[in-house]
Amino acid sequence: MKIAFFYLLILLLLLSLSVSCKDNSTSEEDPYNKVTIGQQIWMTDNLNADKFRNGDIIPETRTIADWKRAGFNQQPAWCYYNNDSINKTKFGKLYNWYAVNDPRGLAPKGWHIPFDAEWTNLANNLGGINIAGGKLKSSGTLDWQSPNTNATNSSGFAGLPGGSRNFDGSFNSLGRNGFWWTATQNDALSAWYWYLGFDFESVARYDYNKENGFSVRCIKD
């Protein structure tokens, strides 16, 4: 009798723990890998969408001339790093800011592109910009160039060095830096982005040309 009562207590304890823990699993309605950091829920993969939320196609823009034309005309565009689909699964797509800001919606239903203030909150939740980068980066040097300074991925964010595409159509920084657009513009020509680097543990914030191609992470509505 005492043994049965003991096992009943264990069962009740396990049930209470399962209820109290945040559920970050995927489902048919919400198939995205995610992690809770503070009060925010973030995707743990870079966005890979080739359609806007309304179903319209986002143009893939491969050539230098087409990339520059899309930026000059303030039209949405995406590409893979070096136009190589081998980078699709791990690093996702690189989008210009005109895709990020398109009213048709780049983020899937229930999600949005984070504003600059939401990235600031993320950094603050992890101890501030000076040390948050190490907690945001995936650990090791399989994807990151050595030394991948103080990278622990203790947050579960799993930031990867997806590189960028410049407004002139050139590619750079794969393996060295990860860049993520925010939904916040700085002025008519530039918008804010955040980035991580292989040789520092901070997370940095700058504004840059909207014609550039950066990665995108989404945050839950």
| Tens-place pLDDT, residues 127-182 | 999 999 999 999 999 999 999 999 999 999 999 999 999 999 999 999 999 999 99
In a domain, 58, yes or no: yes
In a domain, 204, yes or no: yes
What pLDDT is attached to residue 27?
57
Query: What is residue 30's predicted lDDT score, i.e. its pLDDT?
Result: 74
CA–CA separation, 139 vs 150, rounded Å?
8
pLDDT score for 28: 55
Alpha carbons 156 and 34: distance in angstroms, whole number: 9
Domain for residue 146, yes or no? yes
For residue 92, report the phi and psi dihedrals to the nearest 5 degrees: 70, -165
Q: What is the pLDDT of residue 24?
A: 55
Cα 187 versus chain centre, distance: 23
Domain count for the chain? 1
Whether 22 has a pLDDT exceeding 90, the answer reads no
Residue reference for tokens 């009943």: 8
pLDDT at position 26 is: 55
Residue 113 falls inside a structural domain: yes
> What's the mean pLDDT in 183-204?
98
Give the pLDDT band of residue 12 (cuts 50, 70, 90): very low
Q: Is residue 174 part of a domain?
A: yes
- Structural domain of residue 73, as residue ranges? 34-220
**How confident is the model at residue 14, as a pLDDT?**
38
Tell me which residue of 97, 101, 111 sits closest to 219, measured CA to CA.
Answer: 111
Tokens at residue 101, please?
């800001």
| pLDDT tens column, 160-171 | 999 999 999 999
Domain membership of residue 67 (yes or no) is yes
Residue reference for tokens 């590189």: 163
Residue 100 is encoded by which pair of tokens? 């990020």
CA distance 150 to 133: 8
- Kindly report the backbone phi and psi dihedral angles of residue 181, in degrees, each rounded to the nearest multiple of 5, phi listed first: -65, 150
Q: Is residue 11 part of a domain?
A: no
Confidence of residue 29 (pLDDT cuts 50, 70, 90): low
- The predicted pLDDT at position 8 comes to 39
Residues 6 or more apart whose Cβ sits within 8 Å of residue 8: none
Residue 5 in domain? no
Across 28-39, average pLDDT: 88
Cβ count near 72 (within 10 Å): 10
Task: Write out pLDDT tens, residues 54-89.
Answer: 999 999 999 999 999 999 999 999 999 999 999 999
